[in-house]
């Protein structure tokens, strides 16, 4: 099982929006050096929605090859089409990813039965560990704990990224799914508390900017050291908020550029961080000691 601080990594791009492989490799090295526990590539923060399938699979393949076993790589392969999700998951498996992260089908608003059948179909079609991803604020679709519990019975569905920010969900999923089913917070602001009450880690936007602090916080939280975990979390609390002053990944891409890790590139319909918000993000970075 994957545990700890897992970065929802940005996808570096040049100013015209083309992918930057050199910067991609720098980011992998950066997270290996900082002790990040796993890289999630081609998730929401990686702008997966703006890459075509060839690009999407190519980025996964390049990260897996360059990581070369130094750090686990979990590939985002979700889609609102079941056939597309299966295709992307096949690509990730063939590339050698350690697991896949599959967001609930967005926009088309399936029922709970539809969610169950969608994820079950992907899991049965592709023999790779799979993590469910519930983020109703972005998908207009909320996978309930009872549906997660049904899917937990599928052999290669190993966990869930719960990004609702509702800590009661962590407790309920643990009750329904047992100790062996992984629960990852997808909400940085509640990630520390999520681990303290039984979660297994956080799939984090903040880890792009303050990976060492996030790893230290996760280690303390997973060890049940509440005082230490909360003290470390307080150092990045401003980042948790500032990195969402505009839609993710707009602020975090600006921050990564400020750190000199990537060029200034993002794809429409996302735009560069507004000047009015830049001082807030910079102040949060300064508070965390990363600039």
Write down the domain spans for the chain.
4-233
Beta bridge partners of 100: 75, 130
203 annotated binding-site participant: yes
The answer to whether the CB of 126 falls within 8 A of the CB of 155 is no
CATH assignment, 4-233: 3.20.20.70
User: Which mean pLDDT values do the consecutive 10-residue runs of the chain (291 residues) have?
Assistant: 96 96 98 98 96 97 98 97 97 98 95 98 98 94 97 97 95 96 97 97 98 98 98 98 97 98 96 98 96 77
| CA angle in degrees (0–180, nearest 5) for 125-3-210 | 115
Q: In angstroms, rounded to a whole number, what is the distance separating the alpha carbons of residues 212 and 225?
A: 17
- Catalytic, 264? Answer no
pLDDT for the residue numbered 144: 97
Cα–Cα distances (Å) from 152 to 121, 123, 237, in that order, read 13, 11, 32
pLDDT for the residue numbered 291: 77
- Catalytic, 25? Answer no
83 annotated binding-site participant: no
pLDDT for the residue numbered 1: 77
| Residue from 133, 184, 235, 280 carrying the catalytic annotation | 133
CB contact burial 180-189 (16+ within 10 A = b; e otherwise) = ebbbbbbbbb
Residues in CB range of 68: below 8 A, 6 or more apart: none
What are 16-19's contacts with CB under 8 Å, separation 24+? 16/265, 17/265, 17/266, 17/267, 17/268, 18/265, 19/55, 19/58, 19/59
Task: Kindly report the pTM of this predicted structure.
Answer: 0.97
Residue 279 CB: number of other CB atoms within 10 A?
10
pLDDT for the residue numbered 13: 97
pLDDT for the residue numbered 151: 98
| Residue from 161, 235, 253, 264 carrying the catalytic annotation | 161
């Amino acid at each position: 099982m994957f545990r700890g601080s897992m970065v929802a990594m940005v996808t570096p791009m040049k100013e015209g929006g083309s992918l930057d492989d050199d910067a991609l490799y720098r980011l992998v090295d950066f997270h290996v050096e900082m002790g990040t526990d796993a890289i999630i590539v081609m998730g929401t923060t990686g702008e997966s929605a703006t890459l075509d399938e060839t690009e999407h699979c190519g980025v996964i393949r390049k990260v897996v090859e360059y990581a070369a076993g130094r750090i686990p790589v979990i590939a985002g392969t979700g889609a609102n089409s079941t056939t597309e999700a299966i295709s992307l998951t096949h690509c990730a498996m063939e590339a050698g990813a350690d697991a896949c992260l599959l967001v609930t089908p967005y926009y088309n608003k399936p029922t709970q039965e539809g969610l169950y059948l969608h994820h079950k179909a992907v899991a049965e079609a592709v023999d790779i560990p799979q993590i469910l991803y519930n983020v109703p604020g972005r998908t207009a679709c909320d996978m309930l704990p009872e549906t997660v519990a049904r899917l937990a019975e599928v052999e290669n569905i190993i966990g869930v990224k719960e990004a609702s920010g509702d800590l009661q969900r962590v407790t309920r999923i643990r009750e329904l799914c047992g100790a062996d089913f992984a629960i990852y917070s997808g909400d940085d602001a509640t990630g520390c508390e999520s681990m303290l009450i039984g979660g297994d880690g956080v799939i984090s936007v903040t880890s792009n900017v303050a990976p060492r602090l996030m790893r230290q916080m996760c280690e303390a939280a997973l060890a049940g050291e509440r005082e230490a975990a909360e003290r470390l979390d307080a150092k990045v609390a401003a980042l948790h908020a500032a990195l969402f002053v505009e839609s993710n990944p707009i602020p975090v891409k600006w921050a990564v550029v400020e750190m000199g890790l990537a060029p200034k590139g993002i794809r429409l319909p996302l735009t560069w961080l507004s000047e009015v918000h830049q001082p807030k993000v910079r102040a949060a970075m300064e508070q965390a000691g990363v600039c």
